[in-house]
Amino acid sequence: MDEISTLDRPASSGPGPIRRTALHDTLVNHLRDMIIEGHLEPGTRLHEGQLGEQLGVSRTPLREAIKYLASEGLVELVPSRGAVVKRFSGKDVQDMLAVLRNLEELAGKLACQLASDAEIAHVRALHDEMVRRYKAADRLQYYKLNQDIHTAIVRLAQNATLADMHQMLQTRLKRIRFIGHEGAEKWAAAVAEHEEMISALEARDAARLSDVLGRHLANAWERVRSAI
Amino acid sequence: MDEISTLDRPASSGPGPIRRTALHDTLVNHLRDMIIEGHLEPGTRLHEGQLGEQLGVSRTPLREAIKYLASEGLVELVPSRGAVVKRFSGKDVQDMLAVLRNLEELAGKLACQLASDAEIAHVRALHDEMVRRYKAADRLQYYKLNQDIHTAIVRLAQNATLADMHQMLQTRLKRIRFIGHEGAEKWAAAVAEHEEMISALEARDAARLSDVLGRHLANAWERVRSAI
DNA sequence: ACGAAAAATGCTGCATGCAGAATACAAAAG
DNA sequence: CTTTTGTATTCTGCATGCAGCATTTTTCGT
């Protein structure tokens, strides 16, 4: 097989300055996706030569991308033995969710103070769209919008560090979250929690929003624990 | 000047398997220190050739280290133009402290539940040592122990993710914290807060520990804001 | 003399080459 | 048959070479 470059280089469309994308940066995103989507399972060793040939790139940008992902916590560097995809234990996931919960509670409080009406309306729109996907049983889009809503609420807090940390945890958990929501009734419960989130946000009820965000993530653990 | 390798390679002392240290890993720590200690000021461009020659290493491991630090948020990658040391605005610092506060509050609650008596005694010992340094007006060691205590309390929470995130924020803020504690009375206030922290921890009073940790960091902002 | 175009320099980004460590394999000893 | 030791192969880690972009300097036109 020819080493065809299957990398999703960002489309050069759209206005603005034509941002030339560095290969190592493209690789970071590509590898991250491969890990999240399960094409690279936990414990898998990332062979530089093989993986590079497979992706049609040389080892240098690949190594740089791996270092970046190592700092993100998605892969682990073993001296003189390369990198392996990090494996998360049940406790690891539980720990991440505990921190994520705390961050979202903070974000909820700040969002109630700082968000504009228009921004809140935007989140409501995302929510409505998500409910449509839920009713259509479109799991993939539902998940995507679910994440978008959480990310959007965190953005309303107008705290870059908070957004960064949240993003990092979301990324690490994305692989896990794919699995959750097995039962239909649990799925319905999650949607109901989302509905309450939005209404609390619209009422700018910081305590209630923080509370429901916390409960939502506490329940998330219940939803995924069986899958771990 | 000869390109003498001034890198602090970890001493090969101690028992256990002789862990070979990779150059890129050494560089990560070295560059991080250079940034934190102000040898590389914000906005400084990291020239690969020059910096590499100065440190006596080739560009390859240097580039890998830079990618790692970029993921950590200490440097910023500009496509086709290398990397620059990230500059933090006052709001950035404020945001970081807000998140740090939230994390430490969570850590405090968990620590009260999970820590053993021996571990708490260890923190108390660190605190007593810190007070000695304070009375001796040994600022550098005081700072070091201060950080150690916060890190130790976070460790008691037994949550790896929490510890990671906390460590990351501590690192980013280290450069800033060097500056704070200008006035003697503010310094005394900080020590008093620490004393209250430890006693709350010893009493396993989660609410009080969480509260004082929060106040401590809220005050930290007051202490550094003038310096920004 | 001022501004614009063009050459020149320096730097980044990527590929490749080479040395050394780690692992796999094979042969020999118990 | 198991264990051990020596060898071969594979892979990582680092250095270097080269092409292309960015920036600076030079040169030319007005």
List the CATH number of the domain containing B57: 1.10.10.10
Nearest protein residue by Cα to C1' of nucleotide C21: A80
pLDDT at B3: 47
Would the Cβ of A19 be found within 7 angstroms of any atom in strand D?
no
Interface probe, candidates A71, A89, A92, chain B, greatest B C-beta count within 10 A: A71
Nearest protein residue by Cα to C1' of nucleotide C20: A80
CB-CB contact of B194 with B150 (8 Å): no
Q: How far is it, in rounded angstroms, from Cα A165 to Cα B168?
A: 10
Q: Could you read off the pLDDT tens digit of each residue along chain A, which spans 228 residues?
A: 444 456 777 765 554 445 568 999 999 999 999 999 889 999 999 999 999 999 999 999 999 999 999 999 999 999 999 999 999 999 999 999 999 999 999 999 999 999 999 999 999 999 999 999 999 999 889 989 999 999 999 999 999 999 999 999 999 998 776 655 567 888 899 999 999 999 999 999 999 999 999 999 888 887 777 666
pLDDT digits (tens, 9 = 90+) for B188-223: 999 999 999 999 999 999 999 999 999 998 888 877
Return phi, psi of residue B204, to 5°.
55, 40
Residues B62, B66, B67, B72, Cα dihedral to 10°: 140
Place of tokens 């010893």: B202
Would the Cβ of A15 be found within 7 angstroms of any atom in strand D?
no
- Same domain, residue pair B70 and B105: no
Which among B68, B92, B103 is the nearest to A67, CB-wise?
B68
pLDDT at A69: 98
* Closest nucleotide to B82, Cα to C1': C12
Domain of residue B112, CATH code? 1.20.120.530
pLDDT digits (tens, 9 = 90+) for B11-58: 655 555 555 689 999 999 999 999 998 899 999 999 999 999 999 999
pLDDT digits (tens, 9 = 90+) for A109-150: 999 999 999 999 999 999 999 999 999 999 889 989 999 999
What number is the ipTM of this complex?
0.91
Indicate the residue among B85, B105, B121 that finishes a domain.
B85
Model-level pTM?
A: 0.91
- Residue A130's domain comprises 90-225
User: Could you tell me which chain B residue has the CA closest to the CA of A24?
Assistant: B67
Task: Give me the CA B49–C1' C9 separation in Å, rounded.
Answer: 15
Would the Cβ of A81 be found within 7 angstroms of any atom in strand C?
yes
- Same domain, residue pair A99 and A209: yes
At A174, list the tokens.
């994305």
- Same domain, residue pair B173 and B220: yes
**3-state class (DSSP) for residue B77:** strand
Q: How far is it, in rounded angstroms, from Cα A167 to Cα A161?
A: 10
**What is the DSSP code (8-state) at residue B58?**
-
**3-state class (DSSP) for residue B76:** strand
**What is the DSSP code (8-state) at residue B17?**
S
